[in-house]
Amino acid sequence: MYKTAYLDLPPLRGAAGTVSLPGSKSISNRVLLLAGLSEGETLVHDLLDSDDTKVMIAALRELGCELHHRDDGVLSVIGLGGRLRQKQAQLFLGNAGTAMRPLTAALAVLAATQGGQFELSGVPRMHERPIGDLVDALRALGCPIDCLGQEGYPPLRLRGPAPLSLTAPVQVRGDVSSQFLTALLLALPLVAAGGVDGQAPRDIVIEVTGELISKPYVQITLDLLARFGVQVQRDADWQRFVIPAGSRYASPGVVHVEGDASSASYFVALGAIAADQAPVRIEGVGSSSVQGDVRFVEAAQAMGAAVTLGPNWLEVRRGAWPLRALDLDCNHIPDAAMTLAVMALYADGPTVLRNIASWRVKETDRIAAMATELRKLGAEVEEGPDWLRVFPLQHWQPAAIHTYDDHRVAMCFSLAAFNGLVPGRSEEAVPVRILDPQCVAKTFPDYFETLFSVVQARPQDIPVITIDGPTASGKGTLTDEVARALGYGVLDSGSLYRVTGLAAHRAGLDLNDGAAVAALVPTLDLRFEEGRVLLDEEDVSNELRQEATGLMASQVGAHPPVRQALHQLQLDFRRLPGLVADGRDMGTAIFPDASLKVFLTASAATRAERRFNQLISKGVPAKLDDLRADLEARDARDKTRSASPLQAAADAIELDNSAHSVEASKDLVLGWWQTKRPFPH
């Protein structure tokens, strides 16, 4: 996951390849709750691992369920069998509607029937998301509930014991969120079995007042209840639901969670926009999905996507281009429909998304957020209480997209990075900045990594920052810090000869055979991370420092084909989303077109002192004066040698960090970087 303040997406030009979806949020949290309420063990395969499921898992643990992750990745849940083990808990539920609403209903009923007191809270936005309709329904049933902040909103206190009146149908409004009905459907089997206050088993009837929105999510609830042994009857109008008398949760033993269909929407859109050569294949959902959001595929097809599908996969290519404008009632796909708003920028006319009032009470006011952010790109957008009209965009502007702690805003705006595919815009393509990219943690922590694995950019569009300078100037540390702040990769070019020597030696090659060693270079699986060098995922940093490795390095470095192969290898490090390259000739020889070049220096005295402290801390004896004399001699040699002398590139910014902390140097470099970027400040 990118834990950076922002993530810059360079212009992206194409897409192809296969993605494997994370588990469905809606299914994961329902399965967790149902398994937690059932008797015995449920083994959950492919559960989503994200903020929304973490809060549900933590809550169930607090309540006394035993959950543990097995070595094979399967989660074992041992449920409560409907009996509270903890009668008091304070549960923090983040911004997960699928945890807050269902747990409210389940714990209100359990507290009323078995006694107890539970407090449920979330992030500040959760305290602005309505829950009044559910609270009203539960209070009418007899559950004592206090709204601890504003009436009708979390945080909530659920108390008991209290007598429940189960004779009349339970009434719940369905026009603000379907999760209120879902919550009652998931919780009320607790009382349908009877036994509460000596009551006989009875049918529990739930009646929906007002138009029910987001119906496919209620269907997911009904399907999963059926898998846990509860067969709810519903009428044709989705107004009346009956949980039959005697219903009891019965774990199916093993449950497989499908891939998330809402998360699939970004990759379906990606295929429609950018897969003009080979398809984007999406594994985890398909025609046999129980999630309503698979119907996003129909909307994408209407806009021109060419889709083929199997039971649990989709393949999407570009069909019509530009995309076709759409006018759609999106009530059945409230989450995935946000993706259509960005696709609309690539359409041949205005696209209207209707019946989306619920967007206003989700992670943020999504109608306002989408309108505001689309306008930053230059788009014309109109909005109403429950609709959005987006016009196609010709003149794109570089924009820093505010994401409002809303995972879907972050994910769908990544699709704006394909603006270079708009006819006539190839040379004018602009990057897109996504602010606070880690908000994707709610449902898809690795979203951007997954995206980068299937998209292409032109190398010259991928930003590079070079940090060159003499030995012991602190290049490595600064490079790591800058790269970490930007989410960029690192190239530690100084270690390449040593790594090549070591790898060639390990492969049993003759180090005098230049051609053989050169052929090995492109196959090296190399990664630089936090000052460490990883070869085939093994940390070889210590081995690289050894004298024997130094000898191997000079042996392989003598061959021109090896030098050439290493040149290419360095260029290949220019990968999405960007690169910080540390060395001595990065800005002059390897990446002469780098957008920012830094030449890092420090006085010989400072560098000698740093090297001295480094050695002493590792228990290596050292003399300060000797180190300083060595460094001065080396500087003189470096500057005057004929083959690539150590020189700042003409367009490099010099940074003498003798008197700066690493933090201060990093801030300086990031400040320069901002001035090089096209985003408004």
Ligand X SMILES: O=C(O)C1=C[C@@H](OP(=O)(O)O)[C@@H](O)[C@H](O)C1
Confirm if 450 and 19 have CB atoms less than 8 A apart.
yes
Q: Based on CB atoms, which residue is closest to ligand X, 59 or 502?
A: 59
Nearest C-alpha neighbor of 247 from the set 323, 318, 190, 185: 190
Nearer to ligand PEP, 124 or 560 (CB): 124
Rounded distance, CA 574 to CA 56, Å?
40
Residues 479-538 that bind ligand PEP (CB under 6 A): none
Q: How far is the CB of 10 from ligand X (least distance, A)?
A: 30
> Is 475 a known ligand-binding residue?
yes
CB-nearer residue toward ligand PEP: 183 or 274: 183
Q: Does 316 bind ligand PEP (CB under 6 A)?
A: no
Q: From the candidates 260, 335, 405, 480, which is the catalytic residue?
A: 335
Say how many C-beta atoms besides its own lie within 10 A of residue 267's C-beta. 27
Q: How far is the CB of 101 from ligand PEP (least distance, A)?
A: 8
Binding mask 175-214 for ligand X (x = CB under 6 A): --xxx--x------------------------------xx
What is the nearest approach in angstroms of ligand PEP to the Cβ of residue 212? 16
Identity at 163, one-letter amino acid code? P
Give the 3-state secondary structure of residue 236.
coil
CA torsion 231-112-94-44 (nearest 10°) is -40
Contacts 24+ apart (CB under 8 A), 219-225: 219/290, 219/292, 220/26, 220/27, 220/30, 220/290, 220/291, 220/292, 221/30, 221/181, 221/182, 221/185, 221/186, 222/185, 223/290, 224/27, 224/30, 224/31, 224/34, 224/290, 225/34, 225/185, 225/186, 225/189
- CB-CB neighbours of 66 under 10 Å: 14
What single-letter amino acid sits at 199?
Answer: Q
CA distance 59 to 61: 5
Within 10-144, strands assigned E span: 14-15, 17-20, 41-45, 66-69, 75-78, 88-92, 116-121
> Does residue 96 interact with ligand PEP by CB under 6 A?
yes
Candidates 92-100, 196-204, 273-281, 497-505; binding stretch for ligand PEP (CB under 6 A) = 92-100
438 near ligand X (CB under 6 A) = no
Residue 575 annotated as part of some ligand binding site: no
Q: Does 98 bind ligand X (CB under 6 A)?
A: yes
Q: Is 97 annotated as a binding residue?
A: yes
Nearer to ligand PEP, 27 or 544 (CB): 27
Which residues in 583-622 contact ligand PEP (CB under 6 A)?
A: none
Task: Specify the residue, 182 or 289, whose C-beta has the smaller distance to ligand X.
Answer: 182
Structure tokens at 129: 């998301």
Q: Would you say 55 or 586 has its CB closer to ligand PEP?
A: 55
> Binds 296, which of ligand X, ligand PEP, none (CB < 5 to 8 A, cut-off by type)?
none
By CB atoms closer than 10 A (0-12, 13-18, 19+), residue 561 is: middle
Q: Name beta bridge partners: 384.
A: 387
CB of 647 to ligand PEP, least distance (A): 53
| SS3 assignment for 443-485 | CCCCHHHHHHCCEECCHHHCCEEEEECCCCCCHHHHHHHHHHH
CB 608 within 8 A of CB 624: yes
Site string for ligand PEP, 427-466 (x = CB under 6 A): ----------------x-----------------------
Residue 108 vs 196, nearer CB to ligand X: 108
Amino acid code (one letter) for 593: D
Tokens of 236: 């044709």
Consult the annotation and say whether 177 binds a ligand.
yes
469 annotated as a binding-site residue: yes
In this chain, which of 334, 392, 437, 463 binds ligand X, going by CB under 6 A? Answer: 334
Minimal distance in Å, beta carbon 334 to ligand PEP? 7
Is residue 521 a contact partner of residue 562, using CB atoms and an 8 Å limit? yes
- State the Cα–Cα distance between residues 670 and 284, nearest whole angstrom: 39
Rounded to whole angstroms, the Cα distance separating 332 from 158 reads 32
Confirm or deny that 495 is annotated as ligand binding: no
The reply, when asked if residue 157 is annotated as ligand binding, is no
Task: Kindly state whether residue 414 participates in binding ligand PEP, applying the rule CB under 6 A.
Answer: no
Nearer to ligand PEP, 94 or 304 (CB): 94
Min dist CB 370 to ligand PEP, Å, is 13
Closest by Cα among 493, 487, 441 to 466: 493
331 binds ligand X (CB under 6 A): no
Residue 214 binding result from ligand X, ligand PEP, none, given CB thresholds of 5 to 8 Å by partner type: ligand X
Beta bridge partners, 656, equal: 601
Q: For residue 520, give Cα distances in angstroms to 10, 502, 507, 526.
A: 31, 11, 9, 12
Applying CB under 6 A, what is the total number of residues that bind ligand X?
13
Question: Cis omega (within 30 of 0) on the bond before 163?
Answer: no
Please check if 477 is assigned to a binding site. Answer: yes
Taking CB within 5 to 8 Å according to partner kind, which of ligand X, ligand PEP, none is near residue 450? none
Q: How far apart are CA 326 and CA 334, in angstroms?
A: 16
292 contact, one of ligand X, ligand PEP, none, CB 5-8 Å limit per kind: none
509 close to 637: Cβ distance less than 8 angstroms: no
Query: Which residue minimizes CB distance to ligand PEP?
Result: 97
The stretch near ligand X (CB under 6 A) out of 10-18, 171-179, 513-521, 589-597 is 171-179
DSSP state of 587: I
Q: C-alpha angle with apex 49: 47 to 50, nearest 5 degrees?
A: 135
Question: Which x/- pattern over 319-358 shows residues binding ligand PEP (rule: CB under 6 A)?
Answer: ----------------x-----------------------
| Closest of 274, 356, 281, 277 to residue 323, by C-alpha | 274
Query: For residue 336, which of 408, 430, 388 has the smallest C-alpha distance?
Result: 408
**Residue 471 among known ligand-binding residues:** yes
- Does 26 engage in binding with ligand X (CB under 6 A)? yes
Which one of ligand PEP, ligand X, none interacts with residue 443, CB within 5 to 8 A by kind?
ligand PEP
Nearest partner of 665 among 675, 673, 657, judged by Cα: 657
**Residue 408 touches which of ligand X, ligand PEP, none (CB < 5 to 8 A by kind)?**
ligand PEP
- DSSP state letter for 321: S
In angstroms, give the least distance from the CB of 184 to ligand X. 12
The Cα-based distances of 163 to 113, 201, 459 in angstroms read 7, 16, 68
335 has catalytic annotation: yes
| Amino acid (1-letter code) at residue 636 | A
Coil, strand or helix at 370: helix
Q: Is 61 annotated as a binding residue?
A: no
Q: Is 178 annotated as a binding residue?
A: yes
In the complex, the smallest distance separating the C-beta of residue 358 from ligand X, rounded to whole angstroms, is: 4
Name the one range near ligand PEP by CB under 6 A: 89-97, 232-240, 243-251, 586-594.
89-97
* Total binding residues toward ligand PEP, as defined by CB under 6 A: 9
Of ligand PEP, ligand X, none, which one does residue 28 interact with (CB within 5 to 8 Å by kind)?
A: none
Which residues, in sequence order, are CB contacts of 181 under 8 Å at separation 6+?
172, 174, 206, 208, 212, 218, 221, 241
- 514 labelled binding-site residue: no
362 makes contact with ligand PEP (CB under 6 A): yes
**Tokens at 605, concatenated:** 């005295």
Tell me if 53 contacts ligand PEP by CB under 6 A: no
- Residues of this chain that interact with ligand PEP (CB under 6 A) are 95-98, 335, 362-363, 408, 443
- Residues of this chain that interact with ligand X (CB under 6 A) are 26, 97-98, 177-179, 182, 213-214, 217, 334-335, 358
Q: Binding site for 3-phosphoshikimate, residues?
A: 25-26, 30, 177-179, 214, 335, 362
- Active-site residues: which are they? 335
Q: Binding site, residues?
A: 25-26, 30, 97, 129, 177-179, 214, 335, 362, 366, 408, 442, 469-477
